[in-house]
Amino acid sequence: MKGNRKILWLFLLPGTLLYLTLFVFPTSSGLFYSFTNWDGISPSYKFIGLDNYNKTIHSIVFQKAFLNNIQFMLVVVICQTMISLFLALLLVKNTKIHVFLRALYFFPTILSSVSVGLIWSFMYDPTIGLLNSILQAAGLEMLTQNWIGGTTIALYSIAAVQVWAHAGQMMIVFVAGLHSIPAELYEAAKMDGGSRWQVFRSITWPLLAPSATIVLAYTTIQSFKAFDLIFTMTNGGPNNATEILTTYIYHVAFANYSFGLASAGSMIFLILLSLLTALQFKALRADRVTY
């Protein structure tokens, strides 16, 4: 029996090694270097205490990136959750047409973010882009503009791309949640004469809390890690209008060769993301939902 237990523990070894190698060690190294002035190249460095954290917090660019990230996150979370839930309610049945449409809406998710960014950069082009061409053909020339070149609208334009790329993925999560709700509850509500809104408010939404928790947490993490999409489309410009925390960390590390400062920014980023996710789980209280 003891020999069998030792064999079972061996099955945990590969995953544990991967976790230590890909998460624990890099995180520990980042925390260590955040207290140094390491430039990422030199073999020598010195400890400077909390100077990197002080510089990061008081950096105007960091503050701009943080506000942009919060704004980007709110737009993406609200719009993506609402659209994915609407699509899930619309395509919850398992008919051939519904399954086909679910696959169609899910398709953008399998594309790489770099590919999506390049495609939409062409779509948003102010001279030959498809979006402005459609607006001109519809007689709406007054709405044409430089979608990712203007400081006021660029962040929202990229947020729209983020929602387009991942709404289908979150739709699948909601569909799975809808399929787990007992049909007897809907039959009882129908017999009681409940309206669609009453059924949604009293049955569907409360029992979708676990799925909603997954969607909100995953979407929040996605919006804070939208580095590849923003880097491909605007590289944080124009004038830091689309700079978010991940692009800020990248520019500090690889453009300014301040890996210690970038590590401090990464630690702050990790703490903020952890706090936001914890607050979402506490607000929804998915673990208290009973069926």
Q: Position of tokens 């607000």?
A: 283
What are the 10-residue block averages of pLDDT along the chain, 291 residues in total? Answer: 70 88 90 91 90 94 94 95 95 92 93 93 92 91 90 94 95 94 85 83 88 89 90 92 94 89 93 84 59 40
Helix (H, G, I), strand (E, B) or coil at 47: strand
Given this model, what pLDDT does residue 289 score?
46
DSSP for 159-201, written as a single string: HHHHHHHHHHHHHHHHHHHHHTS-HHHHHHHHHTT--HHHHII
Element containing residue 253 per DSSP (H, E) = none
Q: Tell me how far CA of residue 61 lies from CA of 20, 43, 173, 272, in angstroms.
A: 33, 28, 36, 17
Q: Is 208 helix (H, G, I), strand (E, B) or coil?
A: coil
User: Sign of torsion, CA 197 71 221 32?
Assistant: negative
pLDDT given at position 77? 94
38 vs 36: CA distance, rounded Å: 6
Q: For the domain covering 52-288, report its CATH number.
A: 1.10.3720.10
Q: To the nearest 10°, report the CA torsion of 273, 173, 23, 43.
A: -70
Q: What is the pLDDT of residue 165?
A: 94
Radius of gyration (Cα) for the chain, nearest Å? 23
**Which residues are CB-neighbours of 121 under 8 A, at least 6 positions away?**
148, 232, 233
What is the rounded distance in angstroms from the CA atom of residue 111 to the CA atom of residue 118? 11
Distance of CA 232 to the CA centre of its chain: 16
